[in-house]
Homo-oligomer: A and B are copies of this chain.
Amino acid sequence: MAGGYSEARQNKPALVSLHTSAGTGNAMGTIVTAFLTKIPLVIVAGQQTREMLIGEPMLANREAATLPRPYIKCPPMGPVYISVPLDDWDVPYTRPVIPRSVSTRFGPDPERLKQFAERIHKAQRPALVLGAEVDKALAWDTAVAVAELLACPVFQAPMCERAVFPETHEQHHGPLPTARGPLAQYLDGFDLVIVIGAEVFRYYPWVAGPVLVDGTELLHITNDPNDAAKALICDSLLSDAGLALNGLHSLLKSLGTSKQLTKHYSHHENVLSKSKQNTSSGSLMTPLEAFSAVAEIRPSDTLLVHETPSSTADLVQAWPSTEPETCFTFASGGLGWNMPAAVGVAVAQKTISSGRLTVLVVGDGSFQYSLQCLYTAVQNQLRLIVLVPVNEEYAVLKEFAVLEETPRVPHLDIPGLDISASARSWGCSTFKALNRDELQRHFRTALTTQGPVVIEFPVDRTLRPLVAQTLSRG
């Protein structure tokens, strides 16, 4: 929840209070995600009194700062963890408290940025790949300006936790594939790829292949020294994404860069249109149909949070983001994050009285991880609609099993989960929709309902390929 709250407040730090070892243990899954999503949480954990610690009493933090270590305080932002002995709260602080500020962004090395601009200026077939740092830096406008100067396709970085570019813009070409070989193939034909504000690259399953095919070069701009260090192939430059885009725009203009939107990336052009033909063969809605039904009638300033692993691509297609800072998910893949995160986003709206709606799209499997957070949503009467496509299976792992060629993996079906009954046990309003009309009707009702509402709807169970395929060239 704190993570969602911070995200919805432009990554202001949020304070988290945990029990000692037990609480820290229970929270570690979300600390992992907060770390990878780079959310500045200040986590205060209880600790027994200093006098007791020598004897390692019950509920003491053992090696207080070791447990969360690998997932604490990445540069430039992330969770920090403070273990506070109980009796420290009683010690008076006698000095004046002088607030201090630390700059949280930095700019590019100007000489290196100039080299980058010159290489971009000379490129014949460039492509832009944008990542979450662009959204966090409030830099959509600058990204559009640079993209239009280059007249090139704009891809979203793979497994990206934010929308990063107007998804209805004609240069927007959707997300890159999530595995090494296919991603390299996908970028074949571009001579220069410029990755801004993302890792190079965030892969999910292993599919062999080179990082890039011959003939493709890569420039990389990030504000994370660790991401710069670990990138496999590229020249990297450290900078805030917004400051770098700004600088690039000036430099490219002064170099006279002005490209024409060409057809050299024709092998990508039909991706969206083709997949749009995805419709259900049976009586159940496809995820795409269901998401489209809601997207059509959502308020335009709705905040979207999502965790629906097997139908994320459908959601992104059905629900294009057109405003910055309106679409959130996790960078970690650690299921169970987004449902409480959505509660946190809705708490933030209530706190600042924005009046905006938060919509969570969460699969029936993902729904199970942290469903207790609905109680908080009910107790605080939050403006939150939870959409649950129900397929009664762990579909993304079935897709994984197809990729790995390991048939008959057991225990991937999850029948008999009564989503609505669960939600009602914490006092939540619920609806069940069997078709498009019912779904739109319930959503409209939910818009005028006090407190959170859960809408579940069964969906078609057709599996998709885990890694998007490159279409054949025309």
Show the binding face of A for B, using Cβ within 8 Å.
21-33, 48-49, 51-52, 54-59, 62-63, 65-67, 69-71, 75-76, 86-87, 95, 98, 100-103, 105-110, 112, 159, 178, 180, 201-204, 206, 208, 210, 225-226, 228-240, 243, 331-336, 368-369, 371-372, 375, 378-379, 414, 416-422, 424-427
In the bound complex, residues from chain B placing their C-beta under 8 Å from that of A62 are: 70-71
In the bound complex, residues from chain B placing their C-beta under 8 Å from that of A109 are: 103, 105-107, 240, 243
- Could you name 16 residue pairs across A and B whose Cβ atoms are closer than 8 Å? A21-B332, A22-B334, A23-B29, A24-B28, A26-B334, A49-B206, A55-B201, A55-B203, A57-B204, A59-B332, A75-B225, A100-B235, A103-B237, A107-B109, A368-B375, A422-B422
The minimal Cβ–Cβ distance linking A218 to chain B, given in whole angstroms, is: 9
Given contacts A100-B233, A102-B236, whether A76 and B225 have CB atoms under 8 Å apart is yes
CB nearest neighbor in B for A67:
B70
The minimal Cβ–Cβ distance linking A27 to chain B, given in whole angstroms, is: 8
CA distance A141 to B471 in the complex (A): 57
The minimal Cβ–Cβ distance linking A146 to chain B, given in whole angstroms, is: 18
CA distance A295 to B21 in the complex (A): 33
SS of A interface (majority): loop
In the bound complex, residues from chain B placing their C-beta under 8 Å from that of A178 are: 58
CA distance A337 to B206 in the complex (A): 34
The minimal Cβ–Cβ distance linking A183 to chain B, given in whole angstroms, is: 12
In the bound complex, residues from chain B placing their C-beta under 8 Å from that of A100 are: 231, 233-236
CA distance A21 to B30 in the complex (A): 10
In the bound complex, residues from chain B placing their C-beta under 8 Å from that of A238 are: 102-103, 105-106
A58 and B202 contacting across the interface, CB-CB below 8 Å: yes
CA distance A414 to B379 in the complex (A): 10
In the bound complex, residues from chain B placing their C-beta under 8 Å from that of A58 are: 159, 178, 202-204, 331-333
CA distance A378 to B416 in the complex (A): 10
CA distance A70 to B24 in the complex (A): 12
In the bound complex, residues from chain B placing their C-beta under 8 Å from that of A236 are: 100-103
B378 and A372 contacting across the interface, CB-CB below 8 Å: no
CB nearest neighbor in B for A50:
B206
CB nearest neighbor in B for A208:
B51
The minimal Cβ–Cβ distance linking A140 to chain B, given in whole angstroms, is: 19
CB nearest neighbor in B for A330:
B22
16 new A-B contacts, CB < 8 A, other than A55-B203, A62-B71, A103-B228, are: A22-B29, A25-B29, A28-B29, A54-B230, A55-B201, A57-B204, A58-B202, A59-B204, A63-B69, A101-B236, A103-B237, A106-B106, A106-B239, A107-B109, A418-B424, A418-B426
The listed residue (B56, B107, B233) touching A108 by CB distance below 8 A is B107
In the bound complex, residues from chain B placing their C-beta under 8 Å from that of A230 are: 54-56
B103 and A106 contacting across the interface, CB-CB below 8 Å: no
